[in-house]
Structure 1
Amino acid sequence: MIGRRTIAALVALTLSAVSAGCGDGDDAASTDSGTLRVGYQRFGGLSLVKAKAAAPGVTWSLFESGPALTEALKAGAIDLGQTGEAPPIFAAAGKIPFKIVGTSAPVPKGEAVLVKQAKGYRTFADLRGKTVALNKGSNVNWLLVKLLEANRMTLADINVKYLKPAEGRPAFDNDQVDAWIIWDPYFALAEQPGVQVLADATGLANNREYILVSPEAVKSKSAQISTFLSAYQKTTAWGIANPEERTKVLAPELKIDEAVTARALARSAQPLAALTPEIGAELQAIADGFTKLELIPGSVDMKARIDDQFSTELQ
């Protein structure tokens, strides 16, 4: 069983990595313009590539969330990174330059609304007037929008508290919030006795992973990107075909035990998917939803961010 010390250690490791020049502790950020600099989140598909050392010659930078990763793209600290579906939209609204070069199959069970069983909530509608915590600009932000829509509620019907994972877990544990909307592996780590999954994204949001690349890297490092994405595809396929071995490889990288790792992977690890016009339309619909709710300033063109030149490597 994973307790608060473990989640605190996981978060501390992540935060220390981000603050230390975005390095992950093992790999210092490279100043070599020819080296591909990859940003990843603990647990996403890129974590397995790193854990297996499947992409030699790459430098790695660890981030707690997608919004932090897109800020690193803006700063020119990384060339390529992986996020959920909302961070690219908030980044586009913030005028951060990037291209979307890859995606995954849907991962709707990889994010959820957690509540305490003792409070007796049965549906999301029961949270009317309650405090709901989530990370602003992350994939869970779109899940909240869809949950409100499905339950004929608006943002005015709940008290939204924007908290990073490092802040959300203790707030949830100490009953400072009534619900926490969170993604794996934080989701899996929080599944303790007395914690209830009120809803996940099934039927509401696809919760795909997206690969973002800086326009400069697309131009100057296309060969490195192609090689890296091929390694990413092969590693992902290997993990899906070998779930037990994948758990053993990834658990040490995540700094959590194998049981929790296996549970999270069983619902959240999905194969890669080709970029299609439908993917662009899906992202555009999400962006339009955020614009309508005034969660981002003005409209953004997400279809223009799609770049399918590396699709062959991801099939």
Structure 2
Amino acid sequence: MRSTYTRRLFAAVAGLILVTATGALAGCGSDEPASADGPAPLRVGYQRFGGLSLVKARNAAPGVTWSLFESGPALTEALKAGAIDIGQTGEAPPIFAAAGGTDFKIVGTSEPIPQGEAVLVHESDGYQSFADLKGKKVALNKGSNVNWLLLKLLEKHHLTYTDVQVTYLKPAEARPAFDNKQVDAWIIWDPYFALAEQPGVKVLADATGLASNREYLLVAPGALESKGEQLTSFLTAYRQTTDWGIANPAERAKILAPELKIDEPTTTRALARSAKALAPVSPAIGDELQAIADAFTGLELIPGTVDIKGRVDERFSDLFR
């Protein structure tokens, strides 16, 4: 029987994420106001650095409104609240969102990005393997893609979830905690990963061979019903912009660096490993996500079972082939 503690923990975390999402939305305005004579604009939630940032920076999809989020869990809470129509996250946030009752479909993904998330430690601490972190404090954002990487690292090194002191911190909180050695390791994704790669910081492991770390596009059911043409137009622009960026990496970095508020060399380094082509969803993608969901259920990180495979919707897949 699921413990009362687990249910309370999940509820508390969900509440914290909702507060974060509400605050993020309060600080995000619309770049394009709705026209009184036309349909309501498509409302897009994005994370700084994700593929959608390039669409925004190039103004490749005029007529949409943009809302910025620090992490996938905050974005999915905005989706639940009906504040956005479409958004982009990593592999774990859709699962936590589904467990929390958010209704959505997964309409697109990306090629794997295993080098785009990693475990960072301080060289002076002498850690040689993730196994050396047994009993140590490991910081990560709960419900984000790195939550799945943690599970795979524990499995690889024959450790359990209780063998490390998991410390749930948002990126803005985790960076100073890591820099000041209040935690022993930080599991994080780009561009925060690239920003933290300073002298004295060591990449202990990345997700290669462990996790796909794909990006996923989530769409609210209402938008699928009422904004189908707008979604098709937007996703077409997204695909074209992504392809352009891959073909023109130097220009991509110049355009994105000011948008990301990151220097160009750091932007270039992060994009070189983390910017990948879009890909269609498929039953195989559903199986990949379902395996992650089942693992989270087994560890009681989410309450009950989640049919995430049933959220996969292939209606736009031809746009990504």
| TM-score tier (shorter) | over 0.9
CA spacing shift, 1:52–1:213, aligned 2, 3 Å:
same
Aligned partner (choices 148, 171, 174) of residue 168 of structure 1: 174
Counterpart CA distance in 2 for 1:26 and 1:95 is: 27
Identity of aligned residues (%): 71
Amino acid at match of 1:79: D
Q: Does 1:80 align with 2:93?
A: no
Contact kept, 8 Å, 1:101 with 1:311, in 2: the verdict is: yes
> Kindly tell me: are residues 23 and 103 of structure 1, through their superposed partners in 2, closer, same or farther at Cα, counting changes over 3 Å?
farther
Correspondence list, 1:139-178, <5 A = 139-178=145-184
Aligned match of 1:52: 58
Matched to 1:64, the amino acid is E
| CA deviation string 1:9-53 (max 9, x = no partner) | xxxxxx999736355457277598621000000000000000000
Report the alpha carbon displacement of residue 83 of structure 1 after superposing the two structures with TM: 0.1
Structure 2 equivalent of residue 179 of structure 1? 185
2:12 paired residue number? none
Match of 1:48, as an amino acid? L
Tell whether the 8 Å contact from 1:18 to 1:63 is kept in structure 2 after alignment.
no
Structure 2 residue 291 is the aligned partner of structure 1 residue 307: no
Which amino acid in 2 is paired with 1:19?
Answer: G
Q: Runs of at least 4 residues of structure 1 off by over 6 A?
A: 15-18
Which residue of 225, 247, 266 maps to 1:241?
Answer: 247
User: Match of 2:31, as an amino acid?
Assistant: D
Partner residue in 1 for 2:14: none
Q: Is the 8 A contact 1:17 1:62 kept in 2?
A: no
For residues 242-294 of structure 1, what are the alpha-carbon distances to aligned partners after superposition, in whole Å with 9 as ceiling and x for unaligned?
00000001001000010000000000000011111100000000000100111
Task: Find the counterpart in structure 2 of residue 292 from structure 1.
Answer: 298
RMSD: 1.8
Alpha-carbon distance change, 160 to 56 in structure 1, aligned in 2, over 3 angstroms: same
Letter in 2 for 1:274: P
Unmatched segments (≥5 aa) in structure 2: 1-18
Which amino acid letter does the alignment assign opposite residue 121 of structure 1?
Y
Say which of 191, 194, 197 aligns to 1:191: 197
Out of 12, 20, 25, the position equivalent to 1:21 is 25
- Matched-pair contact (CA < 8 Å) for 1:29–1:60: no
Counterpart for residue 116 of structure 2: 110
* 2-structure distance, mates of 1:16, 1:103: 25
1:260-299 superposed matches below 5 A: 260-299=266-305
The answer as to whether partners of 1:69 and 1:81 remain within 8 angstroms in 2 is yes
Distance of aligned partners of 1:20 and 1:272 in 2 relative to their CA distance in 1, 3 Å threshold: closer
SS in 1 for 2:25: coil
**AA paired with 1:245?**
E
Cα distance in 2, alignment partners of residues 22 and 109 from structure 1: 33
Per-residue CA deviation, residues 39-95 of structure 1 (Å, 9 max, x unaligned), is 000000000000000000000000000000000000000000000000000000001
Deviation at 1:314, TM superposition (A): 1.9
Task: Specify which of 41, 45, 48 is matched with residue 39 of structure 1.
Answer: 45
Q: Could you tell me whether the CA contact under 8 Å between 1:36 and 1:224 is conserved in 2?
A: yes
**More displaced stretch, 197-206 vs 18-27:** 18-27
1:129 pairs with 2:129? no
Distance in 1 between residues matched to 2:247 and 2:118, nearest whole Å: 26
CA–CA distance in 1 between the matches of 2:62 and 2:290?
Answer: 35
Task: Give me the whole-angstrom Cα distance separating, in 2, the residues matched to 1:211 and 1:23.
Answer: 23
TM-score computed with the length of structure 1 as normaliser: 0.92
Summarize deviations over 1:106-157 as a string: whole Å, max 9, x none.
0000000000000000000000000000000000000000000000000110
What is the TM-score with the length of structure 2 in the denominator?
0.91
- Contact 2:105 2:311 (8 Å CA) reproduced: yes
The one-letter code matched in structure 2 to 1:124 is F
C-alpha distance in 2 between matches for 1:82 and 1:63? 10
